[in-house]
Amino acid sequence: MYIIRRWWERYALTLVLVSLSFGTAWAIRQTQGAIVFEVYHLLTRPFQSSPNQAPQLYDARVQELETRIVELENKNNQLEELLGYVNQSNSNTKNSPQQAIAAPVIDRSADQWWQQITLGRGSQAGIQVGDIVTAPGGLVGKVTSVSPHTSRVLLISDPTSQLGVTISRSRFMGFLRGQSANYAVMQFFDKVPDVRPGDAIATSPYSQLFPAGIPVGIVESINLKKSPAPEAIIALSAPMPYLEWVVVSLK
């Protein structure tokens, strides 16, 4: 009995391994290698692509490229329009030392969307505090702070922004204040102003903050009974929600 136990302790592991080898070989032969194939397939599955993956990846890539093309076309159209606007602004002031430059909008916080924007050009480009900012459509705002490479602009849609404006058709005047949207309120100086929906308004010749005659917006509705003075709702003509580039009039 002692001899058998010594023999088992010495050769038990070898006997078990040999048995497993023969058993595995027999199973592979009986299943014609199906077990090996299943194990291999299970181990390599994370690295294999499904039959439908390639067309999906191709469609996603095509969609990405189409989106990039549309985006580039839109930017190209914006830059062409802006270049024409800058050239027109400079030609209008060719007898004046004032010049206009284009600047990209690089920052606009969600909680101050209608109050201010940050431009990607600053004092190194000649921008100073107080410079007037416009866009195709009309007045945008005024530069309030400047760093070497950026500028901050207070928008006319900000409720704290006020400016003198004039009804272009009738020349009746008032002052404009923002409404934190693409609208503003014009309060008239006269009790019975000559104003109607669709009238264009521009900066007043008496304004001390902005040059006269810059387009501001269009009269959308009127409340002549408003106290203490009649008011009109003005739809701002510059595309305030979508500003990507603006024009800064340098002093």
Instruction: Return the minimum-mean-pLDDT range out of 16-25, 166-175, 221-230.
Output: 16-25
For position 94, what pLDDT does the model report?
47
pLDDT digits (tens, 9 = 90+) for 227-239: 889 999 999 999 8
Instruction: Return the minimum-mean-pLDDT range out of 13-22, 115-124, 141-150.
Output: 13-22
Give the DSSP per-residue string, the chain.
Answer: -HHHHHHHHHHHHHHHHHHHHHHHHHHHHHHTTHHHHHHHHHHHGGGPPPTTHHHHHHHHHHHHHHHHHHHHHHHHHHHHHHHHHHHHHHHHTTTSS-EEEEEEEEE--GGGTTTEEEES--GGGT--TT-EEEETTEEEEEEEEE-SS-EEEEETTSTT-EEEEEETTT--EEEEEE-SSSEEEEEESSSS----TT-EEEE-TT-SSS-TT-EEEEEEEEETT-SSS-EEEEEESS-GGG-SEEEEEE-
Q: What is the mean pLDDT of residues 191-204?
A: 92
